[in-house]
């Protein structure tokens, strides 16, 4: 299984070109979102919740579009130093908008996608009457090139978040995590981030 996924990743990586004409921002065909995904970057107006050991710092493994139009997310996240699997089902509200209860009440929206290489989600979390906003960039492969990261920065800016609000989650060749602004993430990566390819 790991070899098959590695071959698939290499095939997609060789054709990794950002094409603005393929970007979809409404009338989503969410069935095309189903499949394997990797966490690339996250941004939040409350960084403590997406930094290491943050309750909203999750690493996506896959997304499945269900028959009732809900989305089932398979995540990894860290609990007391251990990587834990979590299945989360988001109920559809309208085109590209979902809701789920996790660490509060959440509204999850698709910001944009090209289905083939990337998808960006926007989430509003309400907990104890306090709102936290989170953006997440997922890729079909473990790393995306600069045009995709720059696109994510622009989306974050649209939501009032600067590069300092962004954390880069994808593994680097050196094994060191960097923010999308090019600065090293002092918190380090989670072992969850690269565990998927090692699964049988």
Q: What is the pLDDT of residues 5-56, one digit of tens each?
A: 555 555 555 567 889 999 999 999 999 999 999 999 999 999 999 998 899 9
With a CB cutoff of 8 Å and minimum separation 6, the contacts of 117 are 12, 16, 18, 139, 140, 141, 144, 148
* pTM for the whole structure: 0.81
| Euclidean distance between CA atoms 170 and 71, whole angstroms | 23
Domains defined for the chain, CATH in brackets = 2-13+33-198 (2.40.128.20)
| Euclidean distance between CA atoms 196 and 39, whole angstroms | 11
Residue 192 has pLDDT above 80, yes or no: no
């Amino acid at each position: 299984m790991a070899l098959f996924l590695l071959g698939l990743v290499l095939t997609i990586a060789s054709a990794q070109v950002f094409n603005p004409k393929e970007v979809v921002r409404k009338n989503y065909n969410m069935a095309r979102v189903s499949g394997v995904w990797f966490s690339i970057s996250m941004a939040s107006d409350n960084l403590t919740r997406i930094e290491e050991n943050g309750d909203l710092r999750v690493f996506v493994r896959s997304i499945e579009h269900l028959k009732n139009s809900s989305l089932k997310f398979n995540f990894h996240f860290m609990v007391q130093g251990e990587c834990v699997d979590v299945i989360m089902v988001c109920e559809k509200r309208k085109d590209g908008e979902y809701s789920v209860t996790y660490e509060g009440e959440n509204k999850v929206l698709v910001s944009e996608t090209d289905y083939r290489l990337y998808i960006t989600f926007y989430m509003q979390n309400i907990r104890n009457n306090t709102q936290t906003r989170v953006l997440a960039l997922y890729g079909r492969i473990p790393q995306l090139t600069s045009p995709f990261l720059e696109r994510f920065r622009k989306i974050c800016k649209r939501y009032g978040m600067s590069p300092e609000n962004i954390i880069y989650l994808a593994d680097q060749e050196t094994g060191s995590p960097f923010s999308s602004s090019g600065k090293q993430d002092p918190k380090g990566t989670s072992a969850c981030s690269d565990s998927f390819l090692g699964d049988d």
